[in-house]
Amino acid sequence: MKFLGYERSDGSVGIRNYVLVIPGGFLASKICDLVEDTKTILTADTGSGRTSRDRETIARTLIGLGRNPNVASVIVHSLSAGSAYPELMSTRIANEIASSGKRVELIDVSKEASTLGAIEKGIQLAREMVLEASRLRRQPFDLSHLAVGVKCGFSDTTSGIAGNPVIGNLFDRIVKADGTAFFGENTEIIGAEHVLAKRGTNSEVTRRILEVAAETEEIAKSTGEDIRTINPVPSNIAGGISTLEEKSLGAIHKSGSAPIQGVLKYGERPKGKGLYFVDNWMSMGSIFAGYAASGAQLVIFQLGGGGLTGNDLLYTSTAVVAPLMWTTANPRTLAMAPTSIDFYSGTVIEGEDTIEEAGEKLLQTVLDIASGTLTKVETIKYVNPTQIYLKDPCF
């Protein structure tokens, strides 16, 4: 099983070939407005009013995005409300990304004649970098060079029966081939954490899985709330899910059956290959950027459909540099959003495929996308805002 990708100097392989401009903001957005094949992050999380721990999370995310295999080169600029903090200094971010071997250019706005002068410099640099990246050619690579992240959402009965198990089968195939897979959503394991914990490769992994679930419950209790009265959310209830435990038992199927190698912080890069649980929240706005910062080249949203309204899904990737692939096992969801759904696993419920057969078909779709075919929402020129997963209060 092979896909066609772009080889990077650190040995990683990209499935896309972008120039990244970070952090976000006015300067970055203007460069990206004018130069093709450039990306930037759209977020309000600049570091202002945040604790040092949260600023470090923001920095880890920006650095991880810059080091993502889908990025050919990076422009770092200093026009940001958080750039004076030691954790978010542009020189630090640029140097840590450059350590991966990528070309990184730093724009120090204080040394330019004006903000407009900095934008002009950035545009010229970006054009040069895009031309440079365009000279790269795709080559064949095996699955050991692929990393994929997943979340499930609008979960309903089809999610636990077919949608998530088919994703889990895909993950088992990737991990067996020495690739990397990420799953998470700390609120989505409560009630099933004991099942996941048994799959930890050592006592530390087991302890951390149980700890993440306990910490999430304690945070809810500290506000005077019982998380089980908040979750399942209304869309889950509309889809036939009655308890958080029921939801979690269906949600963890998306992780497959492989041993869990570790529990990662949001945006943390793994030390090796295999399956990893990431301590993140269930929000689509935040989860995908963390996976991309950890190294995922592709992110998947496994969609149920309970309570879903509208006639299409025009949500693009909040992973900034990693394309978003939509899957569902719900026939109503597929009928509602045929121009957004990339893969339908409801054939398992309909008796046309086994989970293994659907998993094989899903793998072929993933390899096709990894080789350059666009996901359906990649054809939309719109950027959804990214919310970095931060744990502390904002002061």
The 10s digit of each residue's pLDDT in 260-276 is: 999 999 999 999 999 99
Cβ neighbourhood burial of 176 (10 Å; 0-12, 13-18, 19+): exposed
Give the pTM: 0.96
Quote the DSSP letter at residue 129: H
Alpha carbons within 13 angstroms on the beta-carbon side of residue 354 total 3
Summarize the confidence of residues 232-244 as an average pLDDT.
77
Q: Helices 26-34 and 115-134 meet at what angle, rounded to 10?
A: 40
Residue 309: the pLDDT is 66
The 10s digit of each residue's pLDDT in 58-111 is: 999 999 999 999 999 999 999 998 899 999 999 999 999 999 999 999 999 989
Summarize the confidence of residues 184-197 as an average pLDDT.
92
Residue 307: the pLDDT is 66
Residue 312: the pLDDT is 64
Round the average pLDDT of the chain to a whole number and report it: 94
Asked if the model's pLDDT at residue 367 lies above 90, the reply is: yes
- What residues are paired with 274 via a beta bridge? 180
